[in-house]
């Protein structure tokens, strides 16, 4: 028996004792732990009450965003008792929102809707060239747009509450805090506290925007948390930051006709292919967005009516003009996890933006949440696997220029020809590994509907797409995406990639 | 041969040809041998396939000529170099489709806060002028390209004299003879008129005419169920015109019928009227100038009638082979379709004569296919390549009218083999920017994508295309596939 035991656990003497899923060891080790007082400590665990006899819930999820809700709905499928605690700490301005997390309330969804508003402004201008009798200048009503966007978000919040109810997931609008092993305290916005116990926990609290830490930042500045529900038009805006959040916000604010400046400390879109990042910056500048490069704000204050260069002072009868879009930081610092999303505490897991070193994207969080629930309750062993992404620069793939053929081209969307707009601005690029049959390892596109174009190629890349296969594929005509089936000029050759039309 | 060499040079060739023409187009033509002929390659038809082939061959250092000629439509419409796609197909179609989409966007804009006075009027004249100007710039671009690549271009109507010689006639009736070692026929097709219907030819127009109309077509009847019919009806409706589509039996024959009915339902909900199961019997012109159309409803057997400003026939296309005098060359055509019979190397029944594009039998009628076929053919003829064209796995979009951009989701269907690894066989997508969405997945299918691989691809959010990588419900399961939000 000792031999069998020593196979299962590298221990020689019996009994082998486990406390709270942690192995203490054989008889000798137990005695030692007791003598040193470690055993008692283990059993007590932070001087709190003993372990609950039974748990209120199989799973308590802290955070009702993309990851948390996906996990909740999946776990409920396996008849588990699940609770979701979701709470939004108001911003310095006082903004708050409902169930659904960042993506739904202050991220992907409102961002894309406001982006669409900006695109529609452009469409109004184009439509004149196509025969539509629209006035030359059309004014934009911020309040009308924001109301429409918030109504849609409200319907999504409602939809989530209904979905959770239908799946018998308990939802509480309360702030969750750990108070002991397997126990959590939930505080609602009236201050009422309740205590729950659960066999397992999932932290999916995501992140919030970071403030600059300069005088006046919290009093006078807003962040993406506030922008999408701002009850008045932001007017002349300074966006501080160079992330995709900064540029996307600056983009649509300029698109609806506002005077926008972006203040960048060093480079645009750190971590993205810099060739593409610079093209984006150029395009934005050509379309009226001003950039102040290599400056950082040091002070923000309210002033009656002057704009002075040396210190940033902003005019405003209203509170807001400065937008902070710097990088984000988690509530309590990011959480490192194993590749099965387990934290250092065996029964506590974490997914989504709150994780250290993971891609901060809704679909990643959703997949992680779903797969985790399947591993915990449905006996699955599948883990999250990511494909190469548009945004990864060739540097990160470890490919030096010598090993890669980079094919590229400008293209002109047919729809932009009639209004004579932006010729040779849209850009397509693929990076191919010379040492591996010219396998496509990188894909970049700058142009309308970039997301729609890229999705299919992401799937193709996953399947090992090579340049030859790209070349042998018939393009769909006339669409922007077909440019990828006719790339022939490499960057190295220096050949011209200007386009002259079909 | 020695004399031919001594005469080489632009002037010399001109003299030789004049001498040959001087003897008359039919009699006394000297049969030249290989190398003595005017060109290494003569391409008949300056469309997508023809131009691609010609330019590729010229790049390989060959002497190439393109002859292109547009026989005016019954209405008198004509156009420049570039073929169907550029002049009366893909390009003007998509631009007018864009005009229609913009109409929808103007309506949407109000919801997003734009203070646009509604409703907004549309000027056909302004749109047509803009579209026609763009097409003309493309005609010009093609001419410049041919010049740059040293391809000779003749705006003449070609017909065969013998298997190596073609007679070209200009608009004014002047004739020239052109001979070549290799000939590629890429004359494409033209819309068919249902001449058995009284008044069809005299009073109706086709896609050859619609894009070149200077005045609005007004209240239009589109007869046909092809993608041409539906696309035209779609953009006409989108720019605010009263549009009816008359279909004899099913819409979009050859396309997945579930998707086809989704398309027609969508169009109907946006204002296009459909007359299903009806066939026209007569078109009359009324004193005021409008057209009265009489048709039979095949299910009820009853006759009905209505008045329109324009009748657009979209009942199929016929290959442009009738006036080529193919018998003089020995090239065989299909007795059913009249298209030119070709083998996998695009060769006709005559070894040195080839046919590509819409005029060839059994080929998908698509621009990118013709272009690729043209290039590969040139490479096989002159570039020591043996690569044949792969006509399988070709994706085609069918635009059907303005689709509204919504954050919620499109209709997607992916067809996979049942047995593992469940290879993806096909993808159908009904939604905005369908072409953009599908291109990448076409690549994936070419790479042998499996269902699992597609599902493991992380979605790009929020887009419509991410729905493809989120497909979980099978038709067999019978579950509700409706998506309710993010």
pLDDT in the model for residue A402: 57
Q: Give a yes or no: residue B91 inside a domain.
A: no
**Contact criterion met (CB below 8 Å) for B47 and B190:** no
The reply to whether residue A463 touches residue B449, judged by beta carbons under 8 angstroms, is yes
More reliable by pLDDT, A478 or B358 = B358
> CB of A257 within 8 Å of any CB in chain B?
no
> CB of B183 within 8 Å of any CB in chain A?
no
Q: Per the structure block, which two tokens stand in for B207?
A: 């896609």
Burial A283-305 (b: 16+ CB within 10 A, else e): bbeeeebebeeeeebeebeeeee
Q: Per the structure block, which two tokens stand in for B390?
A: 């792969």
Mean pLDDT value of segment B95-120: 94
Q: Please indicate, yes or no, whether residues B232 and B340 belong to a single structural domain of this protein.
A: no
Average pLDDT, chain A: 83
Number of domains in chain B: 3
pLDDT in the model for residue B329: 95
Q: In what order do the strands lie in the sheet with B278-285?
A: B278-285, B291-297, B303-308
Q: Where are the domains of chain A?
A: 1-43, 57-207+331-378, 221-324, 404-485
Beta strands in B109-164 (DSSP E): 152-154, 157-162
Burial class (CB in 10 A: 0-12, 13-18, 19+), B277: middle
Chain A nearest-CA residue for B122: A132
> CB of A436 within 8 Å of any CB in chain B?
no
Instruction: Residue A496: count other Cβ atoms within 10 Å of its Cβ.
Output: 9
The count of CB pairs under 8 A between chains A and B is: 295
The reply to whether residue A476 touches residue B459, judged by beta carbons under 8 angstroms, is no
Label residue A358 by pLDDT band (50, 70, 90): confident
Q: In the predicted model, is pLDDT for residue B74 greater than 60?
A: yes
Label residue A114 by pLDDT band (50, 70, 90): very high
**Superfamily name and number for A57-207+331-378:** FAD/NAD(P)-binding domain (3.50.50.60)
Nearest partner of A470 among B385, B389, B443, judged by Cα? B443
pLDDT in the model for residue B417: 87
Most confident of A104-113, A269-278, A298-307, B181-190: B181-190
Interface test with B, best of A447, A476, A486 (most B CBs within 10 A): A476
The reply to whether residue A414 touches residue B98, judged by beta carbons under 8 angstroms, is yes
> CB of B453 within 8 Å of any CB in chain A?
yes
- Alpha-carbon distance of B110 to A145, in angstroms, equals 9
pLDDT in the model for residue A5: 62
Alpha helices in A137-197 (DSSP H): 142-166
Q: In the predicted model, is pLDDT for residue A310 greater than 60?
A: no
Q: Please indicate, yes or no, whether residues B255 and B307 belong to a single structural domain of this protein.
A: yes
Label residue A440 by pLDDT band (50, 70, 90): very high
pLDDT in the model for residue B262: 83
Report chain A's terminal Cα–Cα distance, integer Å: 79
Beta strands in B59-212 (DSSP E): 64-67, 152-154, 157-162, 165-169, 175-185, 189-191
Question: Using a CB-CB distance cutoff of 8 angstroms, which residues of chain B are in contact with residue A482?
Answer: 368, 435, 439
Mean pLDDT value of segment B56-71: 97
Q: Per the structure block, which two tokens stand in for A219?
A: 């009093």
pLDDT in the model for residue B233: 98
> CB of B446 within 8 Å of any CB in chain A?
yes
- Write the CA distances from B352 to A187, A229, B40, B345, integer angstroms: 85, 70, 11, 11
Please give the CATH architecture assigned to the domain spanning A221-324: 3-Layer(bba) Sandwich (3.50)
Q: Please indicate, yes or no, whether residues B375 and B456 belong to a single structural domain of this protein.
A: no
**A19 CA to chain B: closest CA distance, Å?**
38
- Alpha-carbon distance of B467 to B389, in angstroms, equals 32
Q: Please indicate, yes or no, whether residues B361 and B429 belong to a single structural domain of this protein.
A: no
Question: Is B461 an annotated catalytic residue?
Answer: yes
- Alpha-carbon distance of B70 to B50, in angstroms, equals 14
pLDDT in the model for residue B451: 86
pLDDT in the model for residue A127: 96
Q: Please indicate, yes or no, whether residues B291 and B257 belong to a single structural domain of this protein.
A: yes
> CB of A162 within 8 Å of any CB in chain B?
no
Q: Please indicate, yes or no, whether residues B273 and B331 belong to a single structural domain of this protein.
A: no
Task: Tell me how many degrees the CA angle B199-B358-B447 measures, rounded to the nearest 5.
Answer: 135
Q: Please indicate, yes or no, whether residues B220 and B360 belong to a single structural domain of this protein.
A: no
Task: Give Cβ neighbours of residue A493 (< 8 Å, ≥ 6 apart).
Answer: none
**Contact criterion met (CB below 8 Å) for A65 and A172:** no
pLDDT in the model for residue A364: 86
Q: In the predicted model, is pLDDT for residue A43 greater than 70?
A: no
Report chain B's terminal Cα–Cα distance, integer Å: 75
Q: Which of B128, B366, B460 sits opposite A451 (nearest CB)?
A: B460
**Superfamily name and number for A404-485:** FAD/NAD-linked reductase, C-terminal dimerisation domain (3.30.390.30)
pLDDT in the model for residue B65: 98
**Contact criterion met (CB below 8 Å) for A57 and A82:** yes
Mean pLDDT value of segment B61-76: 97
**Contact criterion met (CB below 8 Å) for B227 and B91:** no
- Write the CA distances from B367 to A56, A478, B57, B321, B395, integer angstroms: 65, 9, 19, 19, 12
Q: Which residues of chain A from 390 to 429 reach within 8 Å of chain B, CB to CB?
A: 390, 414-415, 417-418
pLDDT in the model for residue B187: 98
For A407-424, what is each residue's pLDDT tens digit? Answer: 999 888 887 887 777 777
pLDDT in the model for residue B3: 42
Nearest partner of B48 among B90, B10, B20, B8, judged by Cα? B90
Q: Please indicate, yes or no, whether residues B181 and B228 belong to a single structural domain of this protein.
A: no
Strand B157-162 relative to strand B152-154, pairing: unpaired
DSSP state of A406: E
> CB of B479 within 8 Å of any CB in chain A?
no
- Write the CA distances from B139 to A472, A498, B134, B146, B383, integer angstroms: 27, 18, 9, 11, 28
Beta strands in B256-389 (DSSP E): 273-276, 278-285, 291-297, 303-308, 310-313, 317-319, 353-355
Q: Give a yes or no: residue B390 inside a domain.
A: no
Q: Give a yes or no: residue B437 inside a domain.
A: yes
Q: Which residues of chain A from 467 to 486 reach within 8 Å of chain B, CB to CB?
A: 469-470, 472-482, 484-485
Q: Point out the least confidently predicted range of A208-212, B218-222, B374-378.
A: A208-212
Burial class (CB in 10 A: 0-12, 13-18, 19+), B149: middle
- Alpha-carbon distance of B441 to B120, in angstroms, equals 38
Alpha helices in A9-83 (DSSP H): 27-35, 38-44, 66-77
The reply to whether residue A148 touches residue B141, judged by beta carbons under 8 angstroms, is no
pTM of the model: 0.82
**Superfamily name and number for A1-43:** Glutaredoxin (3.40.30.10)
Mean pLDDT value of segment B34-42: 88
For B2-24, what is each residue's pLDDT tens digit? Answer: 444 444 444 444 444 444 444 44
The CATH number linked to B461 is 3.30.390.30
Q: Which residues of chain B from 137 to 156 reach within 8 Å of chain A, CB to CB?
A: 137-138, 141, 145
Q: Please indicate, yes or no, whether residues B50 and B183 belong to a single structural domain of this protein.
A: yes
More reliable by pLDDT, A35 or A70 = A70
Q: Which of B435, B446, B457 sits opposite A458 (nearest CB)?
A: B457
Q: Point out the least confidently predicted range of A117-126, A414-423, B128-137.
A: A414-423
The reply to whether residue B112 touches residue A385, judged by beta carbons under 8 angstroms, is no
pLDDT in the model for residue A397: 31
- Alpha-carbon distance of A292 to B355, in angstroms, equals 59
Crossing angle of helices A108-129 and A244-255, rounded to 10°: 40
**A473 CA to chain B: closest CA distance, Å?**
7
> CB of B422 within 8 Å of any CB in chain A?
no
Q: Give a yes or no: residue B109 inside a domain.
A: no
Residue length of chain A = 502
The reply to whether residue A123 touches residue B105, judged by beta carbons under 8 angstroms, is yes
Average pLDDT, chain B: 87
**A286 CA to chain B: closest CA distance, Å?**
23
The CATH number linked to B131 is 3.50.50.60
- Domain containing residue B265: 192-316
More reliable by pLDDT, B53 or A25 = B53
More reliable by pLDDT, B13 or B319 = B319
Residue B337: helix, strand or coil by DSSP?
coil
Q: Which of B239, B405, B464 sits opposite A116 (nearest CB)?
A: B405
Q: Give a yes or no: residue B397 inside a domain.
A: no
Q: Write down the ipTM of this complex.
A: 0.83
Share of chain B above pLDDT 90, in %: 67
Mean pLDDT value of segment A304-315: 34
Q: Please indicate, yes or no, whether residues B325 and B291 belong to a single structural domain of this protein.
A: no
More reliable by pLDDT, B461 or A390 = B461
Task: Tell me how many degrees the CA angle B261-B263-B265 measures, rounded to the nearest 5.
Answer: 70
For chain B, percent helix, then strand, then coil, each to nearest 5?
35, 20, 45
For B387-429, what is each residue's pLDDT tens digit? Answer: 898 877 666 655 544 332 222 246 777 888 888 888 888 888 8
Q: In the predicted model, is pLDDT for residue A315 greater than 60?
A: no
Domains A57-207+331-378 and A221-324 share a fold: yes
Q: Please indicate, yes or no, whether residues B199 and B308 belong to a single structural domain of this protein.
A: yes
Q: Give a yes or no: residue B470 inside a domain.
A: yes
Strand A175-180 relative to strand A170-172, pairing: unpaired
Q: Please indicate, yes or no, whether residues B170 and B272 belong to a single structural domain of this protein.
A: no
Alpha helices in B239-362 (DSSP H): 257-269
- Alpha-carbon distance of A443 to B440, in angstroms, equals 11
Helix or strand run (H / E) with residue A187: strand A183-187
- Alpha-carbon distance of B353 to A404, in angstroms, equals 41
pLDDT in the model for residue B422: 86
**Contact criterion met (CB below 8 Å) for B252 and B260:** yes
Q: In the predicted model, is pLDDT for residue B193 greater than 80?
A: yes
Task: Tell me how many degrees the CA angle A59-A62-A65 measures, rounded to the nearest 5.
Answer: 110
> CB of A314 within 8 Å of any CB in chain B?
no
Q: Give a yes or no: residue B366 inside a domain.
A: yes
For B226-277, what is each residue's pLDDT tens digit? Answer: 999 999 999 999 999 999 999 999 999 988 888 888 889 989 999 999 999 9
Q: Give a yes or no: residue B71 inside a domain.
A: yes
Q: Per the structure block, which two tokens stand in for A300?
A: 């923000």
For A148-176, what is each residue's pLDDT tens digit? Answer: 999 999 999 999 999 999 999 999 999 99
Domain boundary among B316, B336, B354: B316
């Amino acid at each position: 028996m000792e031999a069998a035991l020593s196979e299962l656990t590298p221990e020689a003497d019996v009994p082998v004792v486990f406390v709270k899923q942690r192995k203490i060891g054989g008889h000798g080790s137990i005695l030692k732990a007791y003598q040193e007082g470690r055993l008692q400590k283990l059993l007590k665990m932070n001087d709190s009450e003993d372990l609950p006899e039974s748990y209120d819930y199989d799973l308590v999820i802290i955070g009702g965003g993309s990851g948390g809700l996906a996990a909740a709905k999946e776990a409920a499928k396996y008849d588990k008792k699940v609770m979701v605690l979701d709470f939004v700490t108001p911003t310095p301005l006082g903004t708050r929102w409902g169930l659904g997390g960042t993506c739904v309330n202050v991220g992907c969804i409102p961002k894309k809707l406001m982006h669409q508003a900006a695109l529609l402004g452009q469409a109004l201008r184009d439509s004149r060239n196509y025969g539509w009798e629209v006035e030359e200048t059309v004014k934009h009503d911020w309040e009308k747009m924001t109301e429409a966007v918030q109504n849609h978000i409200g319907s999504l919040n409602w939809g989530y509450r209904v979905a959770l109810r239908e799946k018998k997931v308990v939802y509480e609008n309360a702030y969750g805090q750990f108070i002991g092993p397997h126990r959590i305290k939930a505080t609602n916005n009236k201050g009422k506290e309740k205590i729950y116990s659960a066999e397992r926990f999932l932290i999916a609290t995501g992140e919030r925007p970071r403030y600059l830490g300069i005088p006046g930042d919290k009093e006078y500045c807003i962040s993406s948390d506030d922008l999408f529900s701002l009850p008045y038009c932001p007017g002349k805006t300074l966006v501080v930051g160079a992330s995709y959040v900064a540029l996307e916000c600056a983009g649509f604010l300029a698109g609806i006709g506002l005077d926008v400046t972006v203040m960048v400390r060093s480079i645009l879109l750190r971590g993205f292919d810099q060739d593409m990042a610079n093209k984006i910056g150029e395009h934005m500048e050509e379309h009226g967005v001003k950039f102040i490069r290599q400056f950082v704000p040091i002070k923000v204050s309210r002033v009656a009516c002057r704009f002075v260069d040396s210190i940033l002072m902003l005019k405003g009868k209203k509170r807001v003009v400065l937008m902070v879009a710097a990088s984000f930081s988690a509530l309590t610092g990011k959480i490192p996890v194993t590749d099965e999303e387990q934290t250092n505490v065996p029964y506590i897991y974490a997914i989504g933006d709150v994780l250290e070193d993971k891609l901060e994207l809704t679909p990643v969080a959703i997949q992680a949440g779903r797969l985790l629930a399947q591993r915990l309750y449905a006996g699955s062993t599948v883990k999250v696997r990511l494909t190469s992404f548009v945004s990864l620069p060739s540097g990160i793939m470890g490919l030096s220029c010598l090993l890669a053929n980079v094919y590229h081209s400008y293209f002109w969307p047919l729809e932009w020809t009639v209004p004579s707009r932006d010729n040779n601005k849209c850009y397509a690029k693929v990076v191919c590994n010379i040492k591996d049959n010219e396998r496509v390892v990188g894909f970049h596109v700058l142009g309308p509907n970039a997301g729609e174009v890229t999705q299919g190629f992401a799937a193709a890349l996953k399947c090992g797409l090579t340049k030859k296969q790209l070349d042998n594929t018939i393009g769909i005509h006339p669409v922007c995406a077909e440019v990828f089936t006719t790339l022939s000029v490499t960057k190295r050759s220096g050949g011209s990639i200007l386009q002259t039309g079909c | 041969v020695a004399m031919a060499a001594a005469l080489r040079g632009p002037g010399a060739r001109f003299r030789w040809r004049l001498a040959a023409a001087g003897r008359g187009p039919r009699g006394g033509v000297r049969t030249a041998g290989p190398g003595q002929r005017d060109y290494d390659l003569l391409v008949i038809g300056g469309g997508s396939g023809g131009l691609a082939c010609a330019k590729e061959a010229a790049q390989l250092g060959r002497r190439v000529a393109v002859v292109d000629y547009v026989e005016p439509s019954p209405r008198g419409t004509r156009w420049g170099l570039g073929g169907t796609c550029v002049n009366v197909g893909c390009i003007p179609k998509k631009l007018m489709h864009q005009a229609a989409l913009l109409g929808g966007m103007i309506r949407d804009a109000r919801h997003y806060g734009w203070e646009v006075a509604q409703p907004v009027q549309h000027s056909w004249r302004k749109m047509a002028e803009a579209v026609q100007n763009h097409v003309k710039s493309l005609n010009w671009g093609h001419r410049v390209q041919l010049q740059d690549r040293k391809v000779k271009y003749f705006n003449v109507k070609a017909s065969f004299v013998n298997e190596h010689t073609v007679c070209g006639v200009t608009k004014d009736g002047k004739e020239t003879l052109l001979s070549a070692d290799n000939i590629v026929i890429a004359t494409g097709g033209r819309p068919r008129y249902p001449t058995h219907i009284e008044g069809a030819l005299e009073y109706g127009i086709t896609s050859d005419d619609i894009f070149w109309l200077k005045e609005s077509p007004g209240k239009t009847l589109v007869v046909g169920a092809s993608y041409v019919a539906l696309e035209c009806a779609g953009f006409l409706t989108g720019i605010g015109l009263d549009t009816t589509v008359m279909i004899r039996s099913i819409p979009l024959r050859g396309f997945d019928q579930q998707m086809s009915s989704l398309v027609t339902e969508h169009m109907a909900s946006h204002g296009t009227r459909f007359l299903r199961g009806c066939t026209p019997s007569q078109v009359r012109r009324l004193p005021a100038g409008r057209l009265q159309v009489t048709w039979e409803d095949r299910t009820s057997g009853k006759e009905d009638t209505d008045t329109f400003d324009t009748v657009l026939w979209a009942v199929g296309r016929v290959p442009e082979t009738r006036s080529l005098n193919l018998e003089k060359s020995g090239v065989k055509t299909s007795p059913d379709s009249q298209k030119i019979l070709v083998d996998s190397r695009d060769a006709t029944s005559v070894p040195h004569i080839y046919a590509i594009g819409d005029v060839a039998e059994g080929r998908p009628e698509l621009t990118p296919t013709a272009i690729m076929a043209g290039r590969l053919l040139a490479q096989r003829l002159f570039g020591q390549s043996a690569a044949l064209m792969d006509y399988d796995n070709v994706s085609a979009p069918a635009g059907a009218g303005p689709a509204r951009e919504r954050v919620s989701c499109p209709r997607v269907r992916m067809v996979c083999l049942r047995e593992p690894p469940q290879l993806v066989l096909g993808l159908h997508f009904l939604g905005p920017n369908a072409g953009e969405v599908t291109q990448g997945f076409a690549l994936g299918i070419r790479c042998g994508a499996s269902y699992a691989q597609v599902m493991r691809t992380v979605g790009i959010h929020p887009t419509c295309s991410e729905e493809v990588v989120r497909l979980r419900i099978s038709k067999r399961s019978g579950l509700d596939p409706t998506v309710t939000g993010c």
